[in-house]
A = this chain, B = another copy of it.
Amino acid sequence: MDAQEPKTPTAWRDITPDAARRLVIAAVEAFAERGYHATTTRDIASRAGMSPAALYIHYKTKEELLYQISRVGHLLSLGLLTEARDGAGPPAARLEAAVRAFVRWHAEHHTTGRVVQYELGALGPEHYAEIVDLRRTTEGVIRSIVTDGVAAGDFDVPDVSGTTLAVLSLCIDVARWFNPDGRRTPDEVGELYAGLVSRMVGARTA
């Protein structure tokens, strides 16, 4: 499976110190290649050019690394959606902006996206609960734009919660199939999907 992604994805640039950031990047690659359960902390340390003891300074367990990856990934994509929701313009424009940003994120960080989605069940109970909470918040942001559009009479949505779920699902699945060597750039997929989602909500402009 393709696991190509920029060597230092923008997602991780705020993780300090440098060693902690290198470990996160190494962990994403290792989890994507072999799966979480088949990866050891030794594998991750060696991939980052560090000793297991050096890894231990930053992350006590493999699960802590997975949690860090999930947390940062969810917070960043949630930030993009929140920005789009709070932007200027009518609901249709804000929904399109949200979809463009969310899709681009999943295309650009497809390796991270796969790890975060596929290994969700490997998180410990507290971390899992925290990530599920972030996912509910993310869903809430999309739902609020859809609800705004319905209230304004701009959207025609018989099932707001089901449609919100479908919009999220469509965008998230970009991480599964996106291929950086493929026909479409992240921006092009974002543009295509913004139009499709406008249709899904029956936006008047569509």
Contacts and interface: CB of A to CB of B under 8 A. Distances in A.
Given A37-B35, A38-B38, A196 B200 contact: yes
A184 interface: yes
A16 interface: no
Interface stretch (A45-53, A69-77, A117-125): A117-125
A77 B193 CA distance: 25
Number of copies of this kind of chain in the complex = 2
Contact of A37 (B38, B163, B174, B196): B38
A23 to B, nearest CB: 20
Interface in A51-83: none
A35 B104 CA distance: 27
Contact of A165 (B118, B120, B177, B195): B177
* A interface, over-half SS: helix
A158 B198 CA distance: 14
A42 interface: no
B165 A169 contact: no
Contacts of A200: 196, 199-200
Interface string A163-206: 10110011011101100000010000100110110011010000
Contact of A162 (B36, B170, B192): B192
Contacts of A170: 166, 169-170, 173
Contacts of A117: 176
Contact of A166 (B114, B158, B193): B193
A152 interface: no
A88 interface: no
